[in-house]
Amino acid sequence: MISSKDFGKEFLWGVATAAAQIEGAAESYGRGPSIWDTFSQRSGKIKKGHRPTLACDFYHRFKEDIALVKLLGFKVFRFSISWSRLLPNGRGQVNPEGIAFYHQVIDECLLQGLMPYVTLYHWDLPEKLSKEGGWTAFSINADFNEFVLLCAKTYGDKVKNWIVLNEPLGFTSLGYMLGIHAPGQTGLSNFLSSVLHVAIAQADGGRILRAEVASAHIGTTFSCSEIIPYTQQEADLIAARRMDCLMNRLFIEPTLGMGFPDADWDVLEKFIIGRSTWRYQERMTFDFDFIGLQNYFPMVVKFNSFVPIIQAWEVKARYRKKPYTSMGWEINADSFYHILKQFAAYPGIKEIMITEGGAAFADQFENEKINDQQRIAYFQDYLSALLRAKNEGLPITGYLAWTLMDNFEWAEGYQAKFGLVHNDFKTQKRTVKESGYWWKRFLSQA
């Protein structure tokens, strides 16, 4: 059985959260609406019509929740800053109540002996900017830079660990191509425009932080999935390469100065490169101190000519009789190990942090306890795979569990349960799950 001491004294353990998913107070204290406030009002977009208006009420309960992070033995608290809480219109007028709130959160972390890791953008674009095109409009880059500069100047004396973007593929593909997430746009053109502007923003944000924050430790995060061809037939192998370009390579390679992976996916050559994006290659490049990886499932894919553009189809875990979470995501710790190896193989990767890791299961109360043994087993398996990679020399420096408590899980609403702590959304009562106590025991062994 592994223990936290196997990872070394300097290894960082923490939990991750996001503003739109936990804060609440969405219509109070000077905050402007975000795309998720608007999107959740559209019928059928969020399961059971749930909205993030109150969420976990972290805005009023942050001291209690930060104390829970400390109680469970973690050293890092990752949270994000709501763009529309600081700049209600996305630019221009600053909201002093929003500024003060994050000072209080940061100060409470430091008082509790926790290291704040601040994410600048975790999917909650101000609605005002979305009406002007959002991430599909080139003007978004100037607006984002204004937001980053404000955060750096305001909190940079206290916060040294920064994450520019959370999962750029997630919010561009789900929000601007498939329409499943806010702002609910669809189409290849919207998607590819957003990809270009987000790739620029990722590097611009890093440069601003480098210039404004002394001794800053700067990263950005990528969702990632090992892509496994269903067969070794050429059509499936080619489909897997295209899917790898989309799922894993689309944002990391421009950051590393390699440009978009158009050689293995001709759509990028025709549509993105055709927009003269070579002019932006230098601007899309930034030497991050670390990259964050967030792996929730592998993808087994086969060729399917009926699927537009990508011509690949995922063969779900349940059809292959593999274990999976309540989200239908395959549980596969070996695949987690493989994707770590894939990203570590890039030249120029200095440090890797697992900035999110976790699983959703249908938790049930048993004698006043939530005995979530599936989640405990998940963490044991995945941390064993992580240790294997670390012992092989991969520069892995930390692991942040997703997430502290059950929250607003985007299009899943309040249905998907990822938390180490149960939250009763009617009473806002927090109950530590058995997985939370498992983490406390695990971390006490260091």
Residues classed as catalytic:
167, 356
- For residue 313, the number of C-alpha atoms closer than 13 Å in the C-beta half-sphere is 10
Which of 445, 335, 347 lies closest to 386, judged by CA? 335
- Cis amide bond preceding 403, omega within 30: yes
Which of 268, 125, 127, 140 lies closest to 204, judged by CA? 140
Q: CB-based contacts of 118: which residues, under 8 Å, 6+ apart?
A: 78, 79, 80, 81, 106, 151, 155, 159, 161, 162, 163
Q: How far is CA 377 from the centre of its chain?
A: 22
Task: Give the chain's count of helices (H) and strands (E).
Answer: 15, 15
Q: By the 8 A CB rule, do 128 and 90 touch?
A: yes
Taking each helix axis as running N to C, give the angle between helix 434-444 and helix 373-391, from 0 to 180 degrees, rounded to the nearest 10. Answer: 30
Tokens 């985007």, residue located: 410
**Coil/strand/helix, residue 44:** coil
Alpha helix (H) ranges present in 134-293?
Answer: 140-155, 168-176, 188-212, 234-244, 252-255, 266-267
- For residue 47, the number of C-alpha atoms closer than 13 Å in the C-beta half-sphere is 9
Taking each helix axis as running N to C, give the angle between helix 188-212 and helix 168-176, from 0 to 180 degrees, rounded to the nearest 10. Answer: 150
**Coil/strand/helix, residue 8:** coil
In eight-state DSSP terms, residue 226 is: -
